[in-house]
Amino acid sequence: MTPEQLSHQIATEIQMLGLSFYFDPVTKARAKRHGLNSVEFYGLGRGGVLGDVDTQVVFDAFTFFDASAIDFLWTQAKTKADPKDVANDYVLAAYDFADRTFGGIERDALGDFGALARRIVDGAEPGRCALVDGYKRFEAPSDPVHSAYLGTILLRELRGGLHIEAVNEVGLTAKEAAFLQDEGVYKFHGYDENSAPDPTSELVAKKELAEELTTQKEAQCMAVLSSEECDRVAEVVALMFSALSNPVAVTK
C-alpha cells in the first residue's frame, strides 16, 4: 500500500476513532468534575492542549467553528476551569475510553500502530498543525492501548491541520467548508442555519479539490513508512474502528 492509498483508506475511520471519546457518556460525566458541560469540556480539553492561550489561538487551531462557538466553549468556559488541568484530564478521558473499547485487539498490534502513528506525525514540521503540536507535549504512553488511541487522535488532528491548509489554498471559507462537510457539523460549529452558503457546483468542486490536496499533504507525512508499515496501519485502524461497534474492555 502506498502512503496516498493509506491516507485515503483510513481518513473516515480515523476521523470517527479520534472523536469517539468526546461525548461518550463516561466522558460527559467526567466533565461535571470540573463544573463543565460536555461541550465546554470538549472545548477546554481539546483546546487546552495548546495551553492557557488567547481565544484567537484556539479560533485559528479549530478554524471551522464560528467565533460565537469558540467564545462559548473556550473564552467563557475558561472562566470556570483551568484549561491546562482540563486538557490533562481530557487525555485521561481518552485513555479511559480506550480501556473500555480496545481490549479485544492484540496488544502487539496496538503497540505497532501507536509507534507508526507517532512516526507519521513526527514528520510534520512544528508549527504546521497546532493541535498535533499540543498533543505531542504529552508523554508518549507505554501502555499500547493508550498509545494506539493517542495515535488515532494525533492522526485525526494531523489531517485536520492539513485540511485547513488545503481549504485556504483552494479559496474556500471556513464556513463554506464546514457546511459542505456536513450540515450537522455546520450546526454544531455554531453557524446560523439561516445564513448557510449556497452549495454551488463551484463550491462543491473546491471542497473536493481540498480533500484531494489534504490526502496528498498527509501522504507526504506518511511517506516515512514502508509499504508493509502502511499495510499494518490500515490493518490496525480497521480493527479499532470495528471495536467501536463491539467494544471489549481491557483486562487489567
User: Does residue 251 belong to any structural domain of this protein?
Assistant: no
Nearest to 39 by CA among 54, 49, 50, 27: 27
Q: With beta carbons less than 8 A apart as the criterion, state whether 161 and 132 touch.
A: yes
Which residue segment(s) compose the domain that 86 sits in? 3-244
Q: What local confidence, expressed as pLDDT, does residue 32 receive?
A: 95
Residue 250 forms part of a structural domain: no
Domain membership flag for residue 210: yes
Q: Flag whether pLDDT at 252 surpasses 80.
A: no
Instruction: Measure the CA–CA gap between 162 and 210, rounded to whole angstroms.
Output: 10
The confidence score (pLDDT) of residue 135 equals: 97
Residue 249 within a domain? no
Q: Are 218 and 7 contacting, i.e. CB atoms less than 8 angstroms apart?
A: yes
**121: Cα separation from own chain's centroid:** 12
Does the residue 131 lie in any domain? yes
Residue 198 contacts by C-beta under 8 Å, 6 or more apart in sequence?
Answer: none
Residue pointed to by grid coordinates 500500500: 1
Classify 102 as helix, strand or coil: strand
Q: How many distinct structural domains can be found in the chain?
A: 1
Instruction: Classify residue 252: in a domain, yes or no.
Output: no
Instruction: Please name the residues in contact with 227: beta carbons below 8 A apart, sequence gap of 6 or more.
Output: 1, 2
Cα end-to-end distance, the chain, whole Å:
35
Distances, alpha carbon 226 to alpha carbons 3, 129, 147, 230, in Å: 8, 23, 20, 6
Neighbouring C-beta atoms of residue 196, cutoff 10 Å: 15
Q: Return d(Cα 10, Cα 27) in angstroms, integer.
A: 25
Contacts of 158 (CB under 8 A, 6+ apart): 120, 121, 124, 129, 132, 218, 221
pLDDT tens-digit readout, 178-234: 999 988 889 999 999 889 999 999 999 999 999 999 999 999 999 999 999 999 999
- Specify if 169 maps to a domain: yes
| Averaged pLDDT for residues 17-33 | 96
Q: Is pLDDT above 90 for 124?
A: no
The Cα–Cα gap between 101 and 206 comes to 37
Local structure of residue 75 (DSSP, 8 states): I
Q: Is the pLDDT of residue 81 over 90?
A: yes
